[in-house]
Amino acid sequence: MDFSLARLLPDGTADAGFAGDGWSVFRIDALPVPEGHDGIDRLVVQRDGSIVIAGHYDAGESTVRLLAGRIRADGTPDPAYGDAALPGFRTLVTRADAGSEYATGLRLQSDGKLFLSIVTGVYPERSGFAAARLDAAGDLDPGFADGGIFALDLVPQGAFADAMAVTLQGGRPVLAGHARRDSGAQITELGLVRLENDLIFTDRLGD
């Protein structure tokens, strides 16, 4: 399955300046299963018209992994972004034992760094609360958490906790999701986590 993006003009018609007919379709043959189940989950349009994406790809053996990329304003992948072996793209692994990883939120910092909220699935264990930060070139930011990856077991004794969205509050990432603290109950609660840029947990979350 291919990745695809469409760009429309204000009147709803296809923009011929984007990939020739308004529809950019691309396949990454270097991925483990280039014809597998792939897709774009989140995107942000930058000031220059380029598009930063976060999506997923089929990694084989019933495993789904994360992928980030940048598409230029003309609809073609940006070869200056990401992994040299996957020009325009970067694969990410939050947990090596995860069977699935999806980007649930995407925010672009003023310095060009990209922040993702991520939900991970580890069978038969629980889903997880995670995030990642990439620099402007598409590489994991070593100044963020553990080599660019943040993971938290928000409810150690509970059923699950998923990071479902992210926003930036004064430059600090705030993750929002849901959690079930009691595996034997059906009550699902809101979970919020705010981090400093150096990943020290902040107090006064409600201010």
Q: In the prediction, which pLDDT does 32 show?
A: 85
Tens-level pLDDT at each residue, the chain (207 residues): 688 999 999 999 999 999 999 999 988 888 888 778 889 999 999 989 999 999 999 998 889 999 999 999 999 999 999 999 999 999 999 888 888 999 999 999 888 899 999 998 877 667 778 999 999 999 999 999 999 999 888 888 778 888 999 999 887 899 999 988 887 788 899 999 998 765 444 444 443
* Domain-wise residue ranges, the chain: 3-194
Q: Which residues of 122-135 are buried (b: 16+ CB within 10 A; e: fewer)?
A: eeeebbbbbbbbbb
Three-state DSSP state, 35:
coil
pLDDT of residue 181: 85
- Give CA separation, 145 vs 120, 131, 152, 164, 196, in Å: 17, 9, 11, 19, 10
Q: Give the CATH number of domain 3-194; options: 2.40.128, 3.55.40, 2.160.20, 1.10.10.
A: 2.40.128
Give residues with Cβ within 8 angstroms of 30, minimum separation 6: 85, 86
pLDDT of residue 42: 96
Which tens digit of pLDDT belongs to each residue from 128-165? 789 999 999 999 999 999 999 998 888 887 788 889 99
* Residue 202, pLDDT score: 44
Q: Give the β-pairing of 100-108 and 160-169.
A: unpaired
Would you state the pLDDT for residue 203? 42
CA–CA dist 38, 140 (Å, integer): 21
For residue 128, the model assigns a pLDDT of 78
